[in-house]
Amino acid sequence: MRGLIAIAGLLAALGGALPLAGAAPGPLCGTGKNAAICFASVDRGGKLSPEDRSRLKAAAPVAIDIVSSRQFAAELAAFHAALPARWVKDNRYWRGFDPVAAPKAVRAAFAGLHIDTRGGARARASAKFGGNLAYEGSTDPRTGERFILLNRYRLDRPIVGLVSTYVHEAAHKGGYSHRPGQTPDQKCEPPYVMAQVARKLADPEGWASFVASKNACRFWRKMK
């Protein structure tokens, strides 16, 4: 656990120091045994400031390393095992969920994924009134490249928030979904929960505060 925290802090510090002003987009990989898993690029369109681009880049290896860790798999399995059986039975997104396969699917989804952004009036309104952080994105029909879209008006967040967003959107790419629109249990469905597990590992000191917020699945509060 402490190793993951150290990695997160180190990458955040290095990311803030990198001179990215004229840097071309390149692979963003995990560390150690995860070095072969790489995001494809950050900000292909060149729309971001060096500071924003640096933060987005710094979060990428942290997300890869956390999802690839045994701690992530163990936390996800424990959460899944503690869910109310009847609730799982009635929830199509958890029925048949495999907590062993899920981290592998997210990890695979990271590979070759482009981190792009979306701006404009619609994104601004969505950020202001809907709290939208990112969009699942799509696959370019011409090139086959896969990408996610971060809301350009919600980038001023700590590294842990960006890590959580990467995990959520990669979970969608891995085949996991949730109910459209805001429902009481949306935050308890697989993409959100996997993002929350990543947040717990990246920022254990802030976890209790996050669990008490409306952004956390309500079941965490019963699993203390």
Q: State both tokens at 91.
A: 């929830």
For Cα atoms 102, 105, 106, give the angle at the middle one, nearest 5 degrees: 90
Q: State both tokens at 107.
A: 């990890």
Report the alpha-carbon distance of residue 204 to residue 132 in Å, rounded. Answer: 24
Q: What is the pLDDT of residues 142-193, one digit of tens each?
A: 888 899 999 888 888 899 999 999 999 999 999 998 776 556 688 999 999 9
Q: State both tokens at 65.
A: 């390393």
Give the per-residue pLDDT at 95.
Answer: 86
Give the per-residue pLDDT at 20.
Answer: 26
Give the per-residue pLDDT at 143.
Answer: 85
Give the per-residue pLDDT at 180.
Answer: 62
Give the per-residue pLDDT at 82.
Answer: 94
Report the alpha-carbon distance of residue 159 to residue 166 in Å, rounded. Answer: 11
Element (H, E) at 178: none
Contacts of 133 (CB under 8 A, 6+ apart): 127, 150, 151, 154, 157, 161, 165
Report the alpha-carbon distance of residue 116 to residue 176 in Å, rounded. Answer: 20
Report the alpha-carbon distance of residue 199 to residue 44 in Å, rounded. Answer: 26
Give the per-residue pLDDT at 210.
Answer: 96
Burial (CB < 10 A; 0-12, 13-18, 19+), residue 17, is exposed
178 neighbors 186 (Cβ within 8 angstroms) = yes
Structural domains of the chain, count = 1
Give the per-residue pLDDT at 135.
Answer: 75
SS3 of 24, please?
coil
Look up the domain containing 198 and give its range: 2-222
* Nearest alpha carbon to residue 83 among 198, 189, 194: 189
Element (H, E) at 28: strand 28-29
DSSP-assigned letters across all residues of 117-159: EE-SHHHHHHHHHS---EEEEEE-TTT--EEEEEEGGG--S-H
Sheet holding 134-139, edge to edge: 41-42, 113-118, 146-151, 134-139
Q: Which residue ranges of the chain lie beneath pLDDT 70?
A: 1-27, 123, 127-131, 137, 180-184, 224
